[in-house]
Amino acid sequence: MMRLLIKGGRALHGEVRIKAAKNAVLPILAASVLADGECEICDVPKITDIDYMLTILRSLGSDVRVEDGHIFIRNQGISDYIVPGEPAKELRSSFFLLGPLIGRMRRAVVSYPGGCDIGVRPLDIHIKGLREMGIAIEESHGKIYCDGNRLKGADIALDFPSVGATENLMMAAALAKGTTRISNAAKEPEIVDLQNFINAMGGKVSGAGSGKIVVEGVEKLHGCRYTPIPDRIVAGTILIAGAVCGGDVSVANVIPEHLEPLLFKINKSTCQLTVQSDKISLVAHGRPKVFDKVETQPYPGFPTDLQSQIMVMMSVAEGTGVIVENIFETRFRIVRELTKMGAIITVKDRTAVIRGVNRLEGAAVSAADLRGGAALVIAGAKADGYTTIDNARYIDRGYEAVEELFGGLGVEIKRIG
């Protein structure tokens, strides 16, 4: 079992350049299936979720090569519409291939996807929307079988602004006959990025970032060169680490607007923020002050993917605060691990009450999911003594070489086992 060993207690200093966002790259890689011609995706981090997606694309017949953070994909050889079960079990985003395969092949077979166990993430929103576009869907033995021979544009109202469902429907609609209108669409920056990528391939998508997206189907899409948006969650993780551990850190190649919910919270603490057009710097002046309440919401609210990290900050802040998790019901599994390190946290249902302590102590802890694992790295960097984190493979899903990322800021961290 791969583990991380961290010796805590040092302030952080340095600058991190942020690469393309995992949550933008994965749907963009899926959408490349729609293109005739080569797509080049730039500035891509080396993380296992992307490796799994590339494995799936190769199994479908795509020609994929990776060179210095650039991914080149040619899909002329795609002949299969069945997403293999094994890599799909490891990757939640394998379900993103449903829409593009229906668009290109008019058929798709996808296993129920895996990924981090952070709660129930129902697929019925995806399936309901696809059925409204004329797609016949059957579910049997853990697989979803889709017949898209009658694929057409439709007016779809989502029951919840699901990011995955919004993206899947956008991709299915790109090559459909007619116009698709998606109401109550997710507004995340990654949705806008997918729109821009489809349009760079010759698509006609508008409205992303608002609650209504319009997709005019086209006959074909071509290849393109595209650089996805930088990863707001990685950037936020580094800024929170600086606030927790003290010192001064900067994140470069960022879009500050995407981090506004976090910056609003940090501004209420004792940290000094300097925000430029593509760079954010943080100087921590002593122990942070708690903010009364953090409540996760769909964008532009506070992101669930930064909830575990902000919990670490609240654990060492001055005062008592509350976190309400509205997106995924099992995000609080990190509480047990933080308690081992001396945090004082009480949980009832989807609400956590955190009473800040002066110090954390190193302990043997275990990552249960990607963002919780990253939060434990922050806690380990703050704690007195040594911390070991089991299941580091979860962290590798979304953070490239996490030991180098934090080591470059002065954290004494290494991979063992």
Catalytic residue check, 39: no
Helix extents (H) in 182-298? 189-200, 232-245, 260-267
Judge whether 237 and 262 are in contact, CB under 8 Å.
no
Which helix (DSSP H) or strand (DSSP E) does residue 38 occupy? Answer: strand 38-41
Burial of 140 (0-12, 13-18, 19+ CB in 10 A): exposed
Q: What are 218-237's pLDDT values in tens digits? A: 999 999 999 999 999 999 99
Helix extents (H) in 67-188? 85-90, 98-105, 124-132, 163-174
Q: Which residues of 77-107 are buried (b: 16+ CB within 10 A; e: fewer)?
A: ebeebbbbbebbbbbbbbbbbbbbbbbbbbb
Distance CA 82, CA 146 (A): 10
What pLDDT is attached to residue 184?
97
Q: How confident is the model at residue 113 (pLDDT cuts 50, 70, 90)?
A: low
Burial of 378 (0-12, 13-18, 19+ CB in 10 A): buried
The one-letter code for the residue type at 232 is R
Residue 190's contacts (CB-CB under 8 Å, 6 or more residues apart) are 21, 23, 24, 27, 163, 167, 229
Rounded to a whole number, what is the distance in angstroms from the first to the last CA of the chain? 6
Measured over all CA atoms, what is the biggest interatomic distance in the chain, rounded to whole angstroms? 62
- The closest of 237, 233, 220 to 309, measured between CA atoms, is 237
How many residues appear in the chain? 417
Catalytic hit among 39, 116, 146, 245: 116
pLDDT higher than 50, residue 115: no
Q: What are 270-313's pLDDT values in tens digits? A: 899 999 999 999 999 889 998 889 999 999 999 999 999 999 99
Query: Which tokens go with 264?
Result: 């609003």
Distance CA 52, CA 111 (A): 14
Percent of the chain as helix, strand, coil, to the nearest 5: 35, 30, 35
How much is the mean pLDDT over the chain? 94
The one-letter code for the residue type at 218 is V
Q: What are 317-347's pLDDT values in tens digits? A: 999 999 999 998 778 999 999 999 999 999 9
- The closest of 242, 204, 236 to 220, measured between CA atoms, is 204
pLDDT higher than 80, residue 86: no
Residue with tokens 């319009």: 214
Q: What are phi and psi of 216, to 5 degrees?
A: -95, 115
Distance CA 405, CA 407 (A): 6
Which helix (DSSP H) or strand (DSSP E) does residue 110 occupy? Answer: strand 107-111
What pLDDT is attached to residue 94?
77
Distance CA 210, CA 26 (A): 21
HSE-CB at 59 with a 13 A cutoff on CA atoms is 17
What pLDDT is attached to residue 121?
47
The one-letter code for the residue type at 194 is L
What pLDDT is attached to residue 116?
46
List Cβ<8 Å contacts ≥24 apart for 273-279.
278/252, 278/253, 278/254, 279/250, 279/251, 279/252, 279/253, 279/254
Q: What domains sit in the chain, N to C, each tagged with a CATH number?
A: 3-18+230-416 (3.65.10.10), 22-226 (3.65.10.10)
What pLDDT is attached to residue 87?
66
What pLDDT is attached to residue 120?
42
Residue with tokens 């984190």: 389
HSE-CB at 230 with a 13 A cutoff on CA atoms is 20
User: What is the crossing angle of helices 307-315 and 232-245, to 10°?
Assistant: 10
What pLDDT is attached to residue 70?
98
What pLDDT is attached to residue 328?
82
Judge whether 251 and 238 are in contact, CB under 8 Å.
yes
